[in-house]
């Protein structure tokens, strides 16, 4: 089955700096890669996603890149703000699994003022 690795497990940045989180996946059939943000006591919220026919996608301060050949994808957050502090999860899925998501173990991001 699919195995998703995520790094780093914790990340601390100063407000205004950029944050980068990286993930790798093992199943070459995976073709959908969402990123979720989870705040304490809440469920994961989708913040951005990318499909395998696209190499990069941007939404305001958030961008995601995908390298299908190397089987890795990354989340970039620019101009970080304290409210960006949360746990971020990457995931991968394919039609083979009915689009059930396989998650990385998460990155705890702390943005200090």
Partner 1 sequence: NAGVMQNPRHLVRRRGQEARLRCSPMKGHSHVYWYRQLPEEGLKFMVYLQKENIIDESGMPKERFSAEFPKEGPSILRIQQVVRGDSAAYFCASSPGGDTPLHFGNGTRLTVT
User: What residues make contact with partner 1 under the rule CB under 8 A?
Assistant: 1, 6, 31-32, 34, 36, 41-46, 49, 51, 89, 93, 95, 97-106
Residue 7 CA, distance from chain mean position: 10
Place of tokens 């689009």: 99
Q: Give 20's contacts (C-beta < 8 A, 6+ positions apart).
A: 74, 75, 76, 77
Q: How far is the CB of 82 from partner 1 (least distance, A)?
A: 22
Q: Give the shortest CB-100-to-partner 1 separation in angstroms.
A: 5
- Nearest to partner 1 of 19, 44 (CB atom): 44
CB of 16 to partner 1, least distance (A): 28
Which tokens belong to 111? 């943005």
């Amino acid at each position: 089955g699919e195995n998703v690795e995520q790094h780093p497990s914790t990340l601390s940045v100063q407000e205004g700096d950029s944050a980068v989180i990286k993930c790798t996946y093992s199943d070459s059939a995976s073709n959908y890669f969402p990123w979720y943000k989870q705040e304490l006591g809440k469920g994961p919220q989708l913040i951005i996603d990318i499909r395998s026919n696209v190499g990069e996608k941007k939404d305001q301060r958030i961008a995601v890149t995908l390298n299908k050949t190397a089987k890795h994808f990354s989340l970039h957050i620019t101009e970080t703000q304290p409210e960006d502090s949360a746990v971020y999860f990457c995931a991968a899925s394919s039609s083979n699994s009915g689009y059930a998501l396989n998650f990385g173990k998460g990155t705890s991001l702390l943005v200090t003022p």
